[in-house]
Amino acid sequence: MTKILTCINCPMGCELTVEVENGKVLSVSGNTCKRGELYAESEITAPTRTITTTVISEQGRPVPVKTAQPIPKDKIFECTAAIKALKVSLPVKVGQVLADDLLGTGSQVTATKSVG
Amino acid sequence: MREFDLVIVGGGPAGMAAAVAARTKGLENILILERDSELGGILNQCIHNGFGLHTFKEELTGPEYAERYAEQVEAMEIPVETDTMVLDISKDKTVTILSRKRGVEQIQAKAVILAMGCRERPRGALNIPGYRPQGVYTAGTAQKLVNCEGYVPGKEVVILGSGDIGLIMARRMTLEGAKVRAVVELMPYSSGLKRNIVQCLDDYGIPLMLSHTVVDIKGKEKLEGVTVAAVDSTNTPIEGSEEYFPCDTLLLSCGLIPENELSRSCGVDIDPRTNGPLVDEGLETSIDGVFACGNVLHVHDLVDFVSEESARAGESAVDYIRRGCTPDSTAAIKVIPQNGVRYTVPSQIHTADLLGDVHIRFRVTGVFKDCAIVIKAGDTELVRRKNRILVPSEMLDIIIKEEKLAAVTEDITVAIEEV
């Protein structure tokens, strides 16, 4: 199977053509440096993203939060819904852990701002 | 009248970094003025990550980056007056301020640092035809509503302009349950980072319509939809290409403008290319003892560069105060943008008053591949740096060594050359 990706490492934004079989990268073309190959490899085999969003505290003020580690890309919506459902009471401190092991991803959810 | 050595207008990343640098150099009597109720400026609403890779060698969100600096301001016991609006700055550095606590007050400064940031280009400056219904927001206003107030402005969204704030808001609105129908960009390329196009649009299947624009806004009281059309090479809409998108929200991400009303009324000379003050190597404006840094000077893409630049402004202000508030001792040489370079900051350098290496920051006028940045003094080449690609959306920063500059007497040119 052939997949087309845009490399995000620099403004060149090389269009990468990736040959994939059974989830494994057979070849990468279109890249102009080594970083493109490495990016294609990680994007195909295990793409991850850090989620940043807000949780509305019990007092009504939003608290900005993030996943402390990147989570699998295909779990973005599931994880965001789980973060939204967290109960948070003010005050919170930046870095405060609001959830451990979000949906079995191994990532914590932490506050990114001191609120209240 | 209260008297201060240094008054800093604005408590965002620029103001905080300038204050921290000035205090680190030993200046005692500093005041930061901030119109919002807390320090941090625009970073407070930028809850996404990607900040701080240069400054802190880790990836932080906006509020985390702001809090690191706010903690330093607090630890250094630098006075901050929040909920305070600056109304006027005079040439002799009398600053008129307004706050609920103290009413209208005049304070006297020996030096002033302008760190007011920038604001978004509003609908009124875009000439979009159609009605003026509720539901049209700048992307940053929507960002503040969602991230700081907890209100999501709509359910079906079209975004005009593909700058980074627009891209970030496309993802943010999607995560909040809205349907983003399209991001519409007038130019044939996006002015946003590749990373944001992939991770904010491609990840969520949001189409990016290049060489398109909004040609009509429908809805009298509330927004009902927008008409999008393709444009030709002169940016004129092509008849017959119109497509109607029902939506309840239109977000505008069409550029940022440095906020220089105070600088202008103070009499500071403005560079028409950046809409920010003209400054020298120490970031001093055309008025002695008035400095500028951060987005009020020129719009940055990385906060890390804002902090670095602003620290320099803080140090220069301390130097000016210690010198006894006298003007620079010598005439300045000009820094002239040439082929492919839109502007430079600084626009002039006092080579006899250097306080270390000089950063030349600039943007290019278009996309250049396999080229070199060439900085010359007369016929003498000071810097030549090869690049595989240069794009207008990435600010460039070239450092010229103090010892190289000290001997220069001719004007300096900055240009892009094909290799």
Residue B127 identity (one-letter amino acid): N
Same domain, B152 and B180: yes
Question: Residue range B247-259: average pLDDT?
Answer: 96
Distance of residue B210 Cα from the nearest chain A Cα, in angstroms: 16
Asked whether residue B330 carries a pLDDT value surpassing 80, the answer given is: no
User: For B388, which of A8, A12, A114 is closest by C-beta distance?
Assistant: A12
pLDDT 10s digits, B163-172: 999 999 999 9
Instruction: For residues B250 and B314, state if they share a domain.
Output: no
Mean pLDDT of B267-271: 98
Model confidence over B50-102: pLDDT tens digits?
A: 999 889 989 999 999 999 999 999 999 999 999 999 999 999 999 999 999 99
Secondary structure (DSSP) of B142-168: HHHIIIII-----SEEEEE--SHHHHH
Q: How far is B189 from chain A (nearest CA, A)?
A: 12
Of the candidates B254, B275, B295, which is a domain's last residue?
Answer: B254
pLDDT digits (tens, 9 = 90+) for B223-232: 999 999 999 9
Specify the pairing of strand B348-349 against strand B256-258. Answer: unpaired
Residue spans per domain, chain A: 2-46, 52-111
Measured at the alpha carbon of residue B393, what is the angle toward residues B54 and B367, in degrees to the nearest 5? 125
Q: How far apart are CA B45 and CA B28, in angstroms?
A: 31
Please state, in angstroms and rounded to a whole number, the distance separating the CA atoms of residues B330 and A112.
47
Examine the pLDDT at A70 and tell me if it is beyond 90.
yes
CA nearest A95 in B: which residue?
B64
Considering only CB atoms, which chain A residues are within 8 Å of B388? 10, 12, 32
Over range B266-282, report the average pLDDT: 97
Q: What are phi and psi of B405, to 5 degrees?
A: -80, -30
- B296's CB contacts (< 8 A; 6+ apart) are B10, B14, B114, B115, B116, B117, B118, B258, B259, B260, B263, B276, B277
Distance between CA atoms of B77 and B263, rounded to whole angstroms?
Answer: 28
How many domains, chain B? 3
Question: From CA B113, how far away is CA B9, in angstroms rounded?
Answer: 6
B325 pLDDT band, cuts 50/70/90, is confident
CATH number at residue B168: 3.50.50.60
The domain made up of A52-111 has a fold known as CPE0013-like fold (3.10.530)
**B74 lies in the same domain as B179:** no
Helix axes B13-24, B303-322, angle to 10 degrees: 40
| Residues B160 and B174 placed together within one structural domain of the fold | yes
Average pLDDT over residues B351-357: 88
The ipTM of this complex is: 0.91
Task: Decide: helix, strand or coil at residue A55.
Answer: strand
Residues near B75 by beta carbon (within 8 Å), at least 6 away in sequence: none
Q: What is the pLDDT of residue B134?
A: 96
